[in-house]
Each structure stands twice: as structure tokens, then as C-alpha cells.
Structure 1
């Protein structure tokens, strides 16, 4: 405001408490260089330079008309996601300032599709500044926090909690003395920063918040030897009651004749517009409904205050389907890529920069992993992400927009809809005018499932070069490729990439029939292989004149190349990146197999001088009647430590078998591991050497002893500690 030279400023809020807090903060900056006043709840200081007003007061005609439309140089709207409301709109239509400035942590709302409700549109899609939790922590704008994910002893799920009325048995489960004692013990154990606890407790239901508050008030606080002082604050509380409660929570012993509050229990009214900087402990006793609400509630404790070094966040994690949203919220990653979410749970403290920490107890971790394995409602999540991005950009977004803006992973969209074309038709319906022909849709489907992931750049670069120039000299291309990527593309890989682009990378006959006549690339003869050229077919060039089809092909190429650069690029061109995840199809693709060999790639696969071992670390539990489940023996595959891995060969394969010789004689031996069958892709653990092999016996499913070989290996690189812990941790099974 000062740098822009604005003499008169209106700061509009929806609660009088916020007006007072904001005025105080501005006075700390401007001192007495400008006059400041309040309008609303008994205050009428209309003539000040900087006015802090409530929308409820100012939108009344007799108050609004005290100003001319151009009275203010700048008008700031706090909690600007409310600006589509009639009260705000009346004020916005009346005034004509030089600058409207909206501030909000939640610009994306569920009614954004309704005309006039899109906050981005109200502000002409102009985003002056955006900052997320991770960046704010990096820049030391917020108080450090220590997050602890703790297993809850309540067994109720989201459906039970959402009922208008719940039975006595369920309510007693939610508010039992045992649960209260569990919460008190954990709150006391993990502590707080400051002279005394000043906490907020978020509940799932109003009746729960009231009963828990009553029970807390009967419990002795181990820190003070006195009973806790708490109250429940919900929607029926008046502005004065809320303000009084906040003051009691913030005060210290002896500040007033009244006793300070230790905790305020609530459901939603503390999610926004509450600025109690003294809060040093936040307790969450409810399922995470969305990452936005999670951050809103966590954020109640992130304001810096004198004598407060950090805030403690205690999240009691129950048997909730949405537990996967917790690591999404903490990491700020909105891709909803299951592998990424698992990594964040595994990484723990690596999620948040600076002095903040993240810890999950083992049972809480397993509850989150179980939720990740069964993510529900992904189409609703995709739709929400699309609407948010469309509103922000002011146009129809494409896959690269999702990737660049950190929205849902394009691969997640393709997994659900096969092509982005299908998704656009589903979302926009009759409004979507960019229809493509059925043959073009088949091409988009093949490119999306084959090169969009970006596991290697060959096909992407060839296709982009062809589209831009119309013709490609193989020798020149290989030279340019090496200059760009600092490793060469060999002749076999180049021709394999051409085969891929001709629709031949398939695993089934029906796929071959569907894709092999796409007719994208034509090879022309030359004196030698490097003088040969490749060009787009006449049919494909003709199809690219269709602007929507061309745009989507370019979109796939852009996403694939960016993903390669971000995830898979290596300095020496080696096919696999340590600890990234790959499917069996990816291995076929990267090893130039010419077709998808996934169906033959179980346990072990020898490809040329390379052998690949695929291990599921936790096998499905067997029934009493069977020695193993559905052809999957319970092999003793396990890491002894971060270097030594024990592996059992396939049952019936003895020490002299060609199977074992294929493993032992391979020049390069690669290990791929996934935690359980719920995961589709494998972590690449790196190469290994065989230290010893020993003949052994194992019973088959008929009880007959068969040959196997127990092999002890040594990894070329120590396995990353957090990944090793994840693989070795038990699988959590939800109770039926």
C-alpha cells in the first residue's frame, strides 16, 4: 500500500474480530503515518485513511452511501472466496477503486461452475501471488510444526460419523472414557511450546465436541494438577461468545480474574477467519475430508508468537477411506499419484522443509497405506481438479496444464478415461466442439498408453522432430540427440522407437489389429542406415491439419518430455533410475523388446545380457487349506539389511536348471520390488551380484516336495533407508 502510494484503503472482512486484528497488524507497520478506524459492531470511523469494516455493516445502503464510488484507492477483501456472495457483490458493484485485492487460502469452491460464483473470474483470472505451505515454511513465514499421526482407538468410519443421528453404542465409542484418556495421554506426551497448553480440538460432530469438552473438564491435567478448562464452540455461538472464548484461550494465568481455557473444541467454525497466534497445539479427531480443510485446520497454529517456538499437531487417524489425503495435504502434491503418496508417508520428515517434522506411528502408517491401495472416487477428484484448473486459467486446460500447475497427474486421468479426448467429451458434453475422428482417437489412445509416461525420450523426440520439420535424417537426428541429452541413441534403439511409433508395441493380437495400421511414420531408403530418413505418412500429416487432434498430440509429447526430464533423465542414458517405479510393460519398452512381454514377465525374465527379478515383498495370506495362494508360493524373499537380499527361485527350478543358469550367467542382474499385490508397479532397487546359491526343497500346492534354489545376493548400492522400512513394515488389514 505504501509503495503504491495509496492514500485511502478499505479492508473488508466478514467478522469484527478480524477487523480489530488486522487494524492492529497495520498499526505495527504504519505507526501513526496514516489514520486508521473501524466500521461495524458499534464503531463508525468512516473518515479515516485506512478503514477496517465488516461486510455486514458496509453493505447496508445508509452506510455504503457515506462514501462516493471512488473514495478508496484500494479495496482489500479478506477471505475473498466469499466475494461471490450478494453482500460482497453489492459493495464491489458500488465502488470503483484503482485496485481490488482479494486474499484467500481457498479460492477453489464446489460451486465454482455456477455462473457468478467463480472467484478467479471475479478477479479476471489475475493471480498476483500464490504461496503454498512448503514455500511459506521455506521462507520462514510460519511457525515450525511437529506433526504426529497417531492411531485412533475409535472404530467409527466416515459413513457412521456423517449420520444426522448415531446410536448410543456408536456415540459411546466416539466419546468413551478410554478415548478421552488416550487423547489426554498423547497430548501430554507430545507436549507444546510455551508456559501452558493453548489448544484447538477439531471434532467430526457437534454432539461429539460438546460431550468430549464435558468429559475433559472432569479430567485432571497432569501438567497443572487441576481439571482441564475447555468449552465447545460451534455455529450457534454469538460473535461476543466466540471473541470471549478466544481471549480466554490466548491469556496466561493471572492476566484476568477468569480462568484461562486449555482447549476449544469445534467442528468447522475455526477453519477460517480465526487468528489466535498463541495456539501451540492442534488436535484433529476427525477424518480428513479434503487437503484444503486439513491445511486450514493445521494452519490455525502456524502463526508466530512470542515465546512459541513450534506448534504440535496431533492427528488421530481412524479407519477412514480418505486417509490418503493426509500425506497429500502435508506434501502439497495434488497429483493423486498413488506412488507419490506412498513416498511421502515413507519419507516422513522429508516432506516439509525447515525445522518442521512429520511422524506417523506404525499402525497409522498402515491405515494410510490401506487407504492408498483402495483410493475411491478418483473420477470425482479428477473432475474437481479439472474445474479448479479451468477456473484458474479461464480456459479449457490440457494435460500439460495439469502437470505444470501441480494438479492431478495426467497418467491418472488417462488410466480412467484412456484418452484426454474422452475426458473432455465427458466433462464438457455438448459444449465441447473439438471432436476428433474415431481413427484419431485410436492414435491418441496408443500414444497416451505408450509414450505419455516419459520413461524414455526416443519416441517423443522423433515424433516432435517429424511434426516440426516433416522429415528426419537419421544421422542428423542421432547427432542432435546426443548434443541435447549427453548420451547417444544406438541404431537398435532408434529402429525400435520407429517400430513403437508404428503401433507395434503391443502384447495381444486384438491390440495389434487395433493399432498396427495407424500409419504414422514411413522409412525411406538410403545408402546406409545413417543416411536413411523417416517422415510422417501422408495420412498422418493430413490428420494433423485438424487443430484439436494436433493440439492433443503435441500435448502428449510435451508432458512425456517434461516427465522424462523431471523423473527419468540420466547422464549416461542407462534405462532405469534407482528407486523410481516401473511396470513390467516399461521394462519391455526400455529393453527394446519390440512388444509388450508383461504376460511372460513373472518372477524372472532374461532379456539378452540382462536378467530381471520381480518380487512382491508381502504375499497374500494363505488359507488353512492351501500351502500358498493361487500359484503364488510364500517364497522367503527378503532383505537381511540394506545390502543383502535373499531370493528363492521359482518352485520346481533346481540348481542345474536353465532357469537358474539364466540368472547366474547374466551380465547385469536387476531387482524390482513392490510391497504388495495392491501396487501395480515395482521399485527399481538397482543391480546385484550373487554371493551364494544353495539347493533346497519346497512343497507345492499338492504337498509334494520340489526343487528350488535359495540365492543370497549383494546390491551394488545400499537400499535407501526409508524405502527399506516401508517394504519391511507389516501390511495393515482393516477389520471387517
Structure 2
């Protein structure tokens, strides 16, 4: 350790070219999310690794504390404790924040009265060393993720003088500090209130009492609404009469529609919704935007009817009745808007749409996808004027931030709540106490709790509500059996602070507006990503003094747990690797929203991802139909990328061991989807299979570029081809060019693959000139549909290739199969069948490590490969190898012979046949040793072991994922 720290100091302070372990090098933290270089990243990482921690920070906010509560919970489970010193400087810290600190059972807190205390330091102790982060960041959400900050992170041996001074200063402060207690907080609250009254904050009043005309000039569209309005106008200018807007809950859809109505200037306007409460709120918003006289606006509901109003707001249940439709001429309204238009498949909506003939019909929804066969997109002629989903809305600051906590559900005698749990288990006294403990620990922002609990069953909601009331909470349970008036009354009571929680089963997924909601509790399994986002969206409406909403998701042993990262990230690719990445690194959200999982809860989700078939025929068919409905035609592969649907690779590649649907190319997919398409010959299918299986991933663009050039422009000289690659920024060398040739003439592949791919070249080379093989050229010309599918693969591969580094053969942290590695390292032939753990050939040595072996793996293959740290892998050779073995001597002389080892690691066999690429590595010759291991019969076998030193330290989230046993 001492040697590595010395080396890292030399890199950081003497010579940046000096080679050292990057895990210990000094590091500047500036909150660059694109480079995973935020304070939250580094604090998370340091907390995970430490044996003890010390925080010395002047200012702390509830939202900043919330970002690390799950990590502190996990540390408490491990027995790791910490100490924290903060202050009352400028009365920045709120009394409620201090109460939140008292909830941290493994953190001792003291208050310093030191005048002008403005310190920001974080110290983490582990065995022989300390990690220190010191700079400008207080413990706040903005300082941890968004603000431009300067913080230096460095490592010191525990005998180092600098860390001695830091700890000594802390100990002095600690000795003089005041212990945080309930009594202290009560006294501080009085002082805090007095300070606030003596130093009032001038708040901007956004909507003073203005008349309608004044309001008309004050309210203007935001950036999203401006773009959407332009798009709507362009659609109308094309002569279209219908369009849709897809916009996340809380992003101002109603105001957007009002702005567009103002832009359109209709003589008569009709607004349709399914609830009178929505209509009344929409009508008030329209008045602010459109102005005019009070009697210009009217309702058309079961209880109130103003059919002559210029701007009419009607419930679908009332106006769609034939007796009411007859009160209007079909051309009465120039502009009709349907809210929550995903409901438009119902007969009531169809009747209304078929009856009226407006100049323009607009539909608005947050979730247009349907599972009942209704194509909402078709109703609006496939004109999507604007689409903004959750991630976009958060990025544009349209929604309140959220702090999500995935917590493990109640467990008793080794059994956890799951979809087979009885009512007795769901509402047992011990589970109720557990729920209360969790919701109290993770808390809520603000002074008054206003919560919404989603339960799995009606009887659970009813019983749980009674039990919570007995515990002193004020709750009510609502279900579909309750009248609308009862629901509205409960919402009003929650908004007014007369209720703490509403418990419900699905009825509040949509169409309900509770801006002051500050906590959402999910006590049910995730049924779909759409429902998850609908329920999350209940809390994302902005409100005065609302900084964020707390979301507490109780994660049991549910098969659908894999849907949680899909919903939170919006990633619908069904690619397990993509989903794992989102779960490994939860810092992908823009702004100060945060995602946190307790360790066991995260493990359950990883297990769900590993055991679930994400690309079964039913899933593919649903995604295919949704995309087809959206674009109004048969999708091509490229459409799946363009419209952010399935990752095309999962359709044709056995990337996941469970993907056994037997579709080798997109023609197979179309046939399976029962599309009426022109038939392809056996040869055409074999070529399509080859380019799909081998090139669609986009891992190397060289073949794609050559094929596309030959198809579009005809023969090309090798020199011209090389120049084109260089011009496009791709690496070029003779070995790679020869590898490309072996792929396209099929000589690289094993016999079974060659037969599957047509058994003859698709590209030939004569006198340094490339041209398409005659039969391939002939088939492209003879069958337009075949040509179209080939072009589609090449276009899709190009789009997918952006994730790979064009200047290198292999991209750090992407996943590769053994066949991929043989190809990309320019081996002559595919040797995946005999490669196994490693092989030194052609100046390269790929090393494949399955980190967690299955229990049934033979003892002679149970190598104890293990990371020493993020940059060092302790590795074992195959058994029956000694220091004198030829292959071992080759490995030990790689650096001397200018040969390169490449390390590939996967967590376990549940990840399929692909490995994460961790980069090149050198053998540390000082660690080479010959050892003994036992075979299945107890016989000792020789084995050689040494450390690989990686060129790049493994990214923290990936390192944790690979090394932690699930």
C-alpha cells in the first residue's frame, strides 16, 4: 500500500506520465456527469469501501442527506460507523435537517460553535490508508451533483502527516462540539425562527392579482412548449387535421394546448376529459392564457351545461351520448382537444371522434402505448407533434426532482414478501412496524407529510390503513368502489394537511393532481414500466417550497423486479447489459434527482435480470406492435433505434443465453410477426443472417463501410478504402484490413458458420480491388426487398456503432464474446471453441474470467481469480502448468516481446457468453508464483499465479458489480 501511494503521489504532483494505480492518484472533482466525476460518485464509492468515516461540513440540506441515506443504512448493517460535525453558521441548516441527522443510528453528530465555520471535508478510513475529499462542496444535493465545484480527492497512508493534521483538527473540534439531541434541536428551532423573522427572504410573486388581460401578457410558453407549438403549426401547414402530443405528467400539457389554441384562434373550442375535476382546473388555466369574458367559458357535464360557450369543457361520459351530440352540429367546433387520449379506444371517444368534423383535433397523453390492441396513433394519423418523456422533462427542469429509494421488503425466517404472500403476511404487526421504520428513516422534504401509498390489493389497503391509524397516522384507503366525490374529498384533505396518507390500488395512476405530495410509497410489485412511471409521476408536480419528492419502493422477491431500472431509466432496449449498466450506475439522472438502492434490494433486481427472459416472443411481439402502431407502417430494424424501442441486437443475436427464439435475421422476425412480405431464397436468407449475426452490433465499422461502398458505388481499390477509413477517423492497419477481408470472404468462420452464411464469399478481391461477389450482386439486383433488408442492417449497425471507440479495436467496458475478440484482435480464424480461459496468439493474449463460478464447476477449474483492487487482478493459470511450461513462459515474456494481454471479465454464467472488456494489462513479475490446487479426486495439481496490472482502473460501479457476491 505504501509503495502504491508513493507512486500515485509521483503521478499527481511530479510527473503525470509516471505510471501508478489510478485508484490512489490525486483527483480533481468538478461535477462533470458525463465523465462520472461528481461528488456524489466519489462520496458513494468512498462510503462503500471505508471502515470508518468523518464529515466536517458547514451546510447540510435534507436533499443532500437523502442522497446518501441508503448507503449509510448499508454501512450500519455492516457495523461501520461515522462522525459528523456541522454548524449553525448563518442559520443555513434547518431544524428539520437536524432531526433527519438523528435518524442515522450509525452516525454521531456534534455541532461546533466556532465563529465563521465554513469547512467542507470528507475523510474515509480503511485499514492502512485514508481517502480525503476536501474543497468547496457542502453536503447538499446541488453541491453533490450540479454546482460547479472544485474538490481534491487524495489518498494518504495512515502514518502520513497531512492526514494526521486533518484528524487532529477534527478531534479538537469534536472535543469542543455540542452533542446533537432533541433538546438542542428544540432550542435551535426557536433561534432559527427568530433569525428568519429578522432576515426575511424576498420572494418573487409570480401571479399577483391580475385581471385576465394582464395575465394574458404575463404568461408565456417555456422552451418545450415553443418547440411543440412550432411543430403543431407545421403539421397544420402540411394540411393535416390531427396530431398528438406525448408529454410526461407535470410538464405543462394543459398550458401547451392553451398556447396552441391562442395560436390557432378558433371560433369555437372543445376540451374533452374524463373527469370534471380535470375540466375545472383546465378551464382556469385557459382563462389565464386566453383571457376574454367569463361567459366565454363553460362546462358540459352531468351537472352543468353551457352548450353556447366559446370555450367548452366537457366530460366524455356526458357529451358522447347520442342525445347530447345531437345538440351540436358536426362542424360546431374548429378545434377539439382530447386529454388523456390513450383512453380514446373506448366507444365513447370513438363516437365523439366520428361525429365531429373540426378543422383540427389534438390528443394529449403521457403514455400512448396500449396493450389492448387499440392503436391510438392511428386515430391521429400518426402525427406526433412533440414527445417529451420523464428523463427529458427532468433535464429541462419541468418537474420536481425526486429521491428514489429501493428498499428491501419485510423478511421473516428467510422469507420475503412476494406475489404469493397472504393478507396475513402483508399486514402482520411486524411488517407494519417495518414499513413505519423505513418511511420514517427515508422521510420526506418539508414540514408536513403528504403521502400516497400504492398497495397490491384492496383488502391490504383497507387493513393497512386501519393499522396505521392505530399507530397515530391519519390515513384513508380508496379503491375503485369509492365514488369520485369521496376521492376528491380525500385529495383535498391531503393537500390541506388533514391526512398523512391515501392508500390506494391503482386508481391514482393517472388523472389526479396533488402538487403538494412529498412522499410516494410503493408496496406492490412493478407490473409494468408504464404503471411505475404513472405512479411516480403523481409526485413530480411542482409546488411552492417543494424541493423534491421522496419515493420509497419496497422490493420483495418479485419476478418483475427487472422492470424497476427499465422504468427509472426509460431504457426499453430489453438488452440485459444496458439494464445492468443502469442499475450499476444510478447517477444517469440529470439535475438533483437521485436513485438509491439498499444493497439487498439491488441484489434482488440483478437476480431478476439474470433469471428473466427479456426477449421472449411475447415481449418482442408487443414491442413490434407498439412501434408499428406508432409509425403507421411495418418497422425496419433501424426504426427500433430511431424510436428508442428494442435494441435490434436482441432480435437476432443470442447475446443472452435465454434468447432462443430461433430468429437469425430480420426476415425471420417479420415472418414470426406474421407480416406479408416477399419471400427470400435460402441463399438470400443466409447472407442476411451473416450480416445480422456478425455486423449488426456495430462493434467494428470497417466491414460495414466497405460493404456499403461496394453496394452503393461499386468496386473500390484497397488504397482508396484505407484512405476513406482514415478520413472517417477509424484506426487502420494491415492486420485489420486483412481481418475485414477474412470476415467478408467467410474464411474466418468455422465450418458450421460458413454453411449457415452461404458457404461462399460476399466480397472478393482482385488486384487490390474489392468488389461484391457476383452471386451476391445478382441477388441484390434481383430482389428489391432483400436489398432493402441488407441496407437496413448496414444503417442500423452504423447507428449502433456510436457506443464503440472508432480509434481502438476494443472499447473499454463494452461486452464481447470470444468470437468477437478473435475477430477484433485480427486472428486468422474463429477459435472460440478452444480458447477457454486464455490463449497467446498473434501477439495478443485475451484472458477471460468468470468471476463467480457455478458450484458444479470442477475443482480443477475453480480458479481463485480475484481483484486485489480496481487496477490489479490476481490470476491463476490452467491447472497442470508450471513455471517451466511453454505457455507460462510466453505469458511472462509478453512485455519483453511487445505482446499484449487483454482482460475480459463477466460476473457469472448468468450473463451469457459476453464479457466486459477491462483493457490491456501487464504481468507483475514480482508476484509470479507456482502453487498447488486440488482436483476432484483430491490430487494436487501445479498452477501458476500472478497479478495482472490493468492499464485502466476499473470503473467503480462496474468493479462493485463484478466483485460483490449476489
Is TM more than 0.5 here? yes
1:148 to 405, 423, 430: 405
The whole-number CA distance in structure 2 between the counterparts of 1:675 and 1:33 is: 67
Contact 1:443 1:518 (8 Å CA) reproduced: no
* Worse overlay, 281-290 or 58-67: 58-67
**What residue ranges of structure 1 are gaps of 5+ in the alignment?**
162-169, 220-226, 253-259, 527-531, 623-628, 732-736
2:456 to 204, 219, 224: 204
The whole-number CA distance in structure 2 between the counterparts of 1:241 and 1:90 is: 30
2:920 to 684, 687, 690: 687
The whole-number CA distance in structure 2 between the counterparts of 1:5 and 1:104 is: 23
The whole-number CA distance in structure 2 between the counterparts of 1:30 and 1:144 is: 30
Match of 1:420 in 2: 666
The whole-number CA distance in structure 2 between the counterparts of 1:172 and 1:81 is: 37
In structure 2, do the counterparts of structure 1 residues 728 and 522 end up closer, same or farther at CA, with 3 Å as the change threshold? closer
Contact 2:754 2:760 (8 Å CA) reproduced: no
Contact 2:406 2:601 (8 Å CA) reproduced: yes
Match of 1:131 in 2: 388
Partner of 2:602, secondary structure, is helix
Shift of 1:550: 0.8
Within a 5 Å distance, the mapping from 1:689-728 to structure 2 comes to 689-691=922-924, 692=926, 693-728=928-963
Q: Is 2:276 the partner of 1:37? A: no
The whole-number CA distance in structure 2 between the counterparts of 1:664 and 1:558 is: 43
Match of 1:534 in 2: 770
Partner of 1:654, secondary structure, is coil
Contact 1:504 1:516 (8 Å CA) reproduced: no
Match of 1:387 in 2: 625
Contact 2:276 2:301 (8 Å CA) reproduced: yes
Shift of 1:17: 1.5
Partner of 1:274, secondary structure, is coil
The whole-number CA distance in structure 1 between the counterparts of 2:270 and 2:388 is: 24
Match of 1:330 in 2: 568
Match of 2:735 in 1: 492
The whole-number CA distance in structure 2 between the counterparts of 1:247 and 1:513 is: 70
Within a 5 Å distance, the mapping from 1:301-312 to structure 2 comes to 301-312=539-550
Shift of 1:413: 0.8
1:614 to 835, 848, 869: 848
Within a 5 Å distance, the mapping from 1:547-562 to structure 2 comes to 547-562=784-799
The whole-number CA distance in structure 1 between the counterparts of 2:890 and 2:678 is: 52
Instruction: Provide Cα deviations, 1:51-70, integer angstroms capped at 9, x if missing partner.
Output: 22111111123433333322
Match of 1:654 in 2: 882
Contact 2:584 2:957 (8 Å CA) reproduced: yes
In structure 2, do the counterparts of structure 1 residues 82 and 513 end up closer, same or farther at CA, with 3 Å as the change threshold? closer
Match of 2:355 in 1: 94
**What residue ranges of structure 2 are gaps of 5+ in the alignment?**
1-260, 654-660
In structure 2, do the counterparts of structure 1 residues 89 and 156 end up closer, same or farther at CA, with 3 Å as the change threshold? farther
Instruction: Provide Cα deviations, 1:138-172, integer angstroms capped at 9, x if missing partner.
Output: 000100000011111265776636xxxxxxxx221
The whole-number CA distance in structure 1 between the counterparts of 2:427 and 2:647 is: 39
Partner of 2:330, secondary structure, is coil
Partner of 1:315, secondary structure, is strand
Partner of 2:753, secondary structure, is helix
Match of 2:265 in 1: 5
Q: Is 2:691 the partner of 1:447? A: yes
The whole-number CA distance in structure 1 between the counterparts of 2:686 and 2:427 is: 56
Q: Is 2:257 the partner of 1:14? A: no
Within a 5 Å distance, the mapping from 1:32-431 to structure 2 comes to 32=292, 35-112=296-373, 117-153=374-410, 155=415, 160=420, 170-219=422-471, 227-252=472-497, 260-348=498-586, 350-376=587-613, 378=615, 379-415=617-653, 416=661, 417-428=663-674, 431=675
The whole-number CA distance in structure 2 between the counterparts of 1:506 and 1:587 is: 13
Contact 1:71 1:97 (8 Å CA) reproduced: yes
Partner of 2:527, secondary structure, is coil
How many residue pairs match? The answer is 685
1:576 to 802, 810, 824: 810
The whole-number CA distance in structure 2 between the counterparts of 1:8 and 1:316 is: 49
The whole-number CA distance in structure 2 between the counterparts of 1:636 and 1:433 is: 53
The whole-number CA distance in structure 1 between the counterparts of 2:739 and 2:703 is: 9
Shift of 1:366: 0.8
The whole-number CA distance in structure 1 between the counterparts of 2:707 and 2:736 is: 15
Instruction: Provide Cα deviations, 1:382-428, integer angstroms capped at 9, x if missing partner.
Output: 11110010011110001111111111111111133111111111112
The whole-number CA distance in structure 2 between the counterparts of 1:619 and 1:637 is: 10
TM-score (norm 2): 0.69
Match of 1:625 in 2: none
Contact 1:156 1:174 (8 Å CA) reproduced: no
Contact 1:16 1:41 (8 Å CA) reproduced: no
TM-score (norm 1): 0.90
Contact 1:448 1:556 (8 Å CA) reproduced: yes
Shift of 1:8: 3.0
Match of 1:670 in 2: 902
CA RMSD of aligned residues (A): 1.8
In structure 2, do the counterparts of structure 1 residues 313 and 632 end up closer, same or farther at CA, with 3 Å as the change threshold? farther
